[in-house]
Structure 1
């Protein structure tokens, strides 16, 4: 399928059916930690990149398969809110399924009233806020010209005033960049203005755009939790396991997941072991067959081997 992948395990949303609405990589930012690589050309105008009926058809087909799904999650190969018509898709899904709907976004377009209105029916919205100052916002998120920290923060604040669903703000904690006490107190002050229901503290555990991006020390993570907890409940998500047990086409399922984000080799190996009842000779054979297709490469980061698209 072109737009639907999974369900795949999510750190925050259990078994999540992913809906990708964008061409790779369409984004308003060029984040230093992005797992999709650099934004070579900013996209700032909203567009109906693909026909909504085609996307709905894929979703209906997947739902009819009967797989266990905890959330339907809109998460693009770039900035999700660039898809003009997201509100229509959410409204149509509400008519056909009780499964809750989440939207993962960098939040950069929430300053637009029409964007905020399209998200009203979503059950959860997960925007990013990685900095509490203009300087760190520009260093970390590297926005397109015309996108400012004040605009981003004001969009989040206004959205909170209008939105009655669950607002879970994601903070990417980066070693030596936004994990100092000063940066964390600035971030807490900004989050207080937004008033999220939860803060999801995440780390750059997948291969990042820039080589100097790394995971913070444990004491910095603990300090971030202490400081940000004064504003909202802070969740430091635990990674779930990948479920490949019942996928009919193993190659296409693995390719669909890896095309959206790198996958740890050991996570893939565990998922295959579960599929093949701990027949590790079979697991090794299948992993070799997958690599032999030429659709995947491997890279190493922080001592972990990741599978990425060729």
Structure 2
């Protein structure tokens, strides 16, 4: 499928059917930690990049073909809310299934009323808040001209006023950037104004745009949980496990995942172990076949973790 992938295991959303409504990479930000690579050209105008009926048809096909879907999740190759038919798609999904709908977004377009209105029917919205000051926002998120910190925070606050679903704010915690006591206290002050239901601490565990992006220490994570929990419930999601048991075509599934984010080899091996129990030679054979397809290459991080990305991916 062109727009739909999975279901894949999600830290927060169980078995999640991913829906990508954007051409790569279409974004209003150029975050230093982005797993999709650098934003070469900012995209700031909303468009219907692909026919909405085409996307809906793929969603229907995926729902009919899988019994293990916990969420339908809009997660784009960039900023999801740039897709102008997003509200229509959410409404149409609600007509055909009771599976809840989530939208992962950086939140940069929530300052527009039309975007806020389109997201009202989603069951969960997961916007980003990585900084409690304009200076740190510019360093981490590197927004397009005009997408100021003040505009970002205003959009989050205004959305919370009208949205009655689950608002789960994501804070990407980066060592030496926003994990100090002062930086976390600044974020906490903003969260008091936004009033999300929960905050999800996320870590830059996948290959990032900048080599300077580092994982925070255990003490820094504990500090973040302590400071932010004074104003809102904090969740540090445990990584879910990948499930390939309902996959008809392993190579197409791995292609679909790596197009959207790097895939940890250890996670892939664990999924293959479950799919082919007590057959380590067969697992190795599948790994060799996948790599031998020429569609993937591996990237090794400083901590020794190996990730799969599409061949030719910069």
Shift of 1:245: 1.2
Cα distance, 1:67 vs structure 2: 2.6
Q: CA deviation at 1:250?
A: 1.0
Q: Where does the alignment leave 5 or more consecutive residues of structure 2 unmatched?
A: none
Name 2:309's counterpart in structure 1. Answer: 308
2:33 corresponds to 1:21 = no
- CA distances 1:44-86 after superposition (whole Å, capped 9, x unpaired): 0000000000001001011111331000000000000000010
Counterpart contact for 2:48–2:85, Cα < 8 Å = yes
Alignment correspondent of 2:243: 243
What is the aligned-residue RMSD (CA, Å)?
Answer: 0.6
Offset, 1:275 = 1.0
- State the distance in 1 between where 2:175 and 2:230 align: 21
Q: How far apart are the structure 2 equivalents of 1:57 and 1:222?
A: 44
Question: In the TM superposition, what is the alpha-carbon distance from 1:246 to its structure 2 partner?
Answer: 2.3
CA distance in 1, matches of 2:131, 2:278: 44
Determine the structure 2 residue equivalent to 1:159: 159
User: What residue in structure 1 maps to residue 184 of structure 2?
Assistant: 184
After TM superposition, the structure 1 = structure 2 runs for residues 79-98 of structure 1, keeping only pairs within 5 Å, are 79-98=79-98
CA deviation map 1:218-275 (0-9, x unaligned): 1010000000001110000001111111211111011111111111111101111111
User: How far has the Cα of 1:278 moved from its partner?
Assistant: 3.0
Q: Secondary structure at the match of 2:39?
A: coil
| CA positional deviation for 1:303 | 1.4
TM-score by length of 2: 0.98
**Counterpart in the other structure of 2:3:** 3
* Alpha-carbon separation, structure 1, partners of 2:251 and 2:220: 39
- 1-structure distance, mates of 2:203, 2:278: 30
SS in 2 for 1:17: strand
- Normalised to the residue count of structure 1, the TM-score between the two structures is 0.99
What is the total number of aligned residue pairs between the two structures? Answer: 310
Which residue in 2 is equivalent to 1:283?
283
- Long gaps (5+) in structure 1: none
Deviation beyond 4 Å, 4+ runs, structure 1: none
Residue 108 of structure 1: aligned partner? 108
Local SS of the residue matching 1:182:
helix
Instruction: Tell me the secondary structure at the aligned position of residue 285 of structure 1.
Output: helix
For residues 172-215 of structure 1, the C-alpha deviation after alignment (integer angstroms, 9 at most, x for no partner) is 00000000111000000011110000000010000000000010
1:255 is matched with 255
Paired residue secondary structure (2:49) = coil
Indicate the SS of the match to 1:158: helix
Aligned to 2:119: 119
